[in-house]
Amino acid sequence: MKILAADDEPLALEMLTECIEKAAPSAEIHAFSSPLALLAFTAEGSGDVAFLDIKMRGMTGVELAKRLKDQAPDINIVFVTGYQDFAGEAMAMHASGYILKPVTAEKIRAELSDLRRPLANQPDKRVRVQCFGNFDVFVDGKPLVFSRRRAKEIFAYLVHKRGSFCTMQEIAAVLYEDAPNDAQQKNNLRQLISSMTRTFRDAGVPEVIHKQYNRLFVDVEAIDCDYYRFNRMEVDAINAYNGEYMAQYEWAMFVVGYLDNLVLD
């Protein structure tokens, strides 16, 4: 994935770039402090996603987006701003997303998992995740076997969160509900997480799961997921939806109403 970032404030551009790097460590990132420099770059070759600060000197992000769309009609535009007043103008551009500062990796990750336009010429991903019906995972077309049922459920929850950080306490609440969060529960959870990460490591795809400071998240760019493609309104994913979402997990049941409403709309 080729990602462009534009902000005329050096510190803001550095922060934006760092957050993109954390959210998409495998992406090719190009940062620009000048809108004209970005346009000169895209005149030679396009990008997949452009994160544009709205309030820049000489040319606003909205003006830049209009010119960028002329050069690269299929690029996903995500506006970044510290001002809520620009939301209406940005959405009128049919932007892929809108981030309110301060920018975080979680916000970037959420936008990248829900792009308006599918990315062109992306290589096939080794890991395919099926959320519609029962939750299942496939690596190179073969079912991935988890040694522990709840280890698979943890991964299902990480997929459900679409790249957002999940704390150990949050995961424990999902798995154990109202059970006391004592030392035994914490030890069991550590063993489950170790089992889950070992399953992906043994399958040769350890990059799917990341752990930072007692928190976990799934790399949304490393998997092909029907739920993610449904949210991007890809026709094949919409047609694949069967009225069930991670059917074996009670905590996932409420998502069915959300998906049903999108289908009806």
Taken in order of first residue, the domains within the chain and their CATH numbers are: 2-112 (3.40.50.2300), 127-264 (1.10.10.10)
Question: What would the DSSP string read from start to end of 201-218?
Answer: HHTT-GGGEEEETTEEEE
pLDDT of residue 84: 67
**Summary mean pLDDT of the chain:** 88
pLDDT > 70? residue 94:
no
Structure tokens at 231: 């949210």
Tell me which of 94-98, 142-146, 180-184, 219-223 is least confident.
Answer: 94-98
pLDDT band at 230 (very low <50, low <70, confident <90, very high): confident
pLDDT digits (tens, 9 = 90+) for 29-40: 999 999 999 999
pLDDT > 70? residue 22:
yes
Residue of higher predicted confidence among 114 and 172: 172
Helix (H, G, I), strand (E, B) or coil at 30: strand
- Amino acid making up residue 115: L
Strands (E), the chain: 2-6, 28-32, 49-53, 76-81, 97-100, 127-130, 136-139, 142-143, 166-167, 209-212, 215-218, 223-225
Cα gap 228→148, rounded to integer Å: 25
Which of these, 47, 32, 30, 23, lies nearest to 108 by C-alpha position?
Answer: 23
pLDDT > 80? residue 64:
yes
Please list the residues that pair with 77 across neighbouring strands: 50
Contact assessment for residue 95 and residue 78, using Cβ atoms and an 8 Å cutoff: yes
Residue of higher predicted confidence among 119 and 49: 49
Cα gap 187→18, rounded to integer Å: 33
Which of these, 6, 2, 61, lies nearest to 37 by C-alpha position?
Answer: 6
pLDDT digits (tens, 9 = 90+) for 165-178: 999 999 999 999 87
Structure tokens at 43: 């005149």
Contact assessment for residue 95 and residue 65, using Cβ atoms and an 8 Å cutoff: yes
What are the residues whose beta carbons fall under 8 Å from the beta carbon of 122, sequence distance 6 or more? 1
CA diameter of the chain: 60
pLDDT > 90? residue 214:
no
